[in-house]
Amino acid sequence: MNASKISSLDTQTLQTQLAQAIDTHPQCRPGLLATHRVVSTACGPSGDVELLARVHVGALGRGHWYAHVARLPVPAPETSKTEKKTVNTAPPYPFTALICHSNIVYDAPEVNLLFQRHYYWMRDRVYYTVPKAGHRDQLCRSATSFAQAVQALAAMLRTFHPDHHLGEPEGGEFWDTRVQALYGTTVTVIDGAPLAPPGTPLVWEAEQ
């Protein structure tokens, strides 16, 4: 079959026409992670400033890597039964910088919706993978401030390789389970009905 003859100028014109059709369609808005890569909010689901980025889109079956900076949930002050005084249980390093993995790809055209979807898949549905690491500072670091956490995240990303943190730990590697401190390990309940256990295929996954 002979290839169609079309000039580069004609190709560019057709691309522009298609882009205009997409841009003017109210239901075809691009996602923020696709257009900006890094998105922040002054008050996310954690109740404080947060940052979210998609750092790697993997091949089929390899999942996707995200970067997240957020304040850890602060437990309520405890009262000592013996001394009858309040004990401060707040973590000394409240902000966490985390590189996390999930088999779910998500995005949204609005900031609030994007963070809601991130927490839905990572915390509510627990669709994250506990990664392996070679040392403690590879995928997760704690910080006293949001700025320090973002700087720590940038430092981790400079040496990050998406293929080095999946699979069974070998040769001194270990499971970095600190992702569970931010997102939890249990399945939540929505509208009184428990969700499927973590890893249960969605309908569209099972049909493929």
* Whole-number Cα distances in Å, 5 to 2, 8, 9, 18: 9, 10, 12, 19
Q: How large a percentage of the chain has pLDDT more than 90?
A: 45
pLDDT tens readout for residues 132-179: 999 989 999 999 999 999 999 999 999 999 989 998 999 999 999 888
Lowest mean pLDDT among 28-42, 78-92, 130-144: 78-92
Contact 61, 100 (CB under 8 A): no
Lookup: tokens for 84: 């009858």
The Cα 45–Cα 199 span in angstroms is: 23
- Cβ proximity of 128 and 122 under 8 Å: yes
Question: What is the residue type of 110?
Answer: E
Query: Contact at 8 Å (CB) between 130 and 179?
Result: yes
Position 26 confidence tier, pLDDT thresholds 50, 70, 90: confident
Give the per-residue pLDDT at 50: 97
**Please, which pLDDT band fits residue 19 given cuts at 50, 70 and 90?**
confident
pLDDT at position 108 is: 94
- pLDDT grade, residue 57 (50/70/90)? confident
- pLDDT value of residue 86: 52
Residue 200 has pLDDT above 90, yes or no: no
Taking 90 as the threshold, does the pLDDT of residue 41 lie above it? Answer: yes
Mean pLDDT on 72-89: 53
Note the pTM of the prediction, 2 decimals.
Answer: 0.74
Q: Is the dihedral of CA 161, 163, 169, 174 positive or negative?
A: positive
Max CA separation in the chain (angstroms):
87
For 21-25, 145-149, 171-175, 187-191, which range has the lowest pLDDT when averaged over its residues?
187-191
What pLDDT shows up at residue 148? 95
Choose among 168, 175, 186, 89: nearest CA to 140: 175
Q: Say which residues have a Cβ less than 8 Å from residue 149's Cβ, sequence separation at least 6.
A: 69, 95, 96, 97, 141, 142, 143
Higher pLDDT, 181 or 85: 181
> Hunting for tokens 């389970």 — which residue is that?
177
Give the pLDDT confidence score for residue 4 in this predicted structure. 66
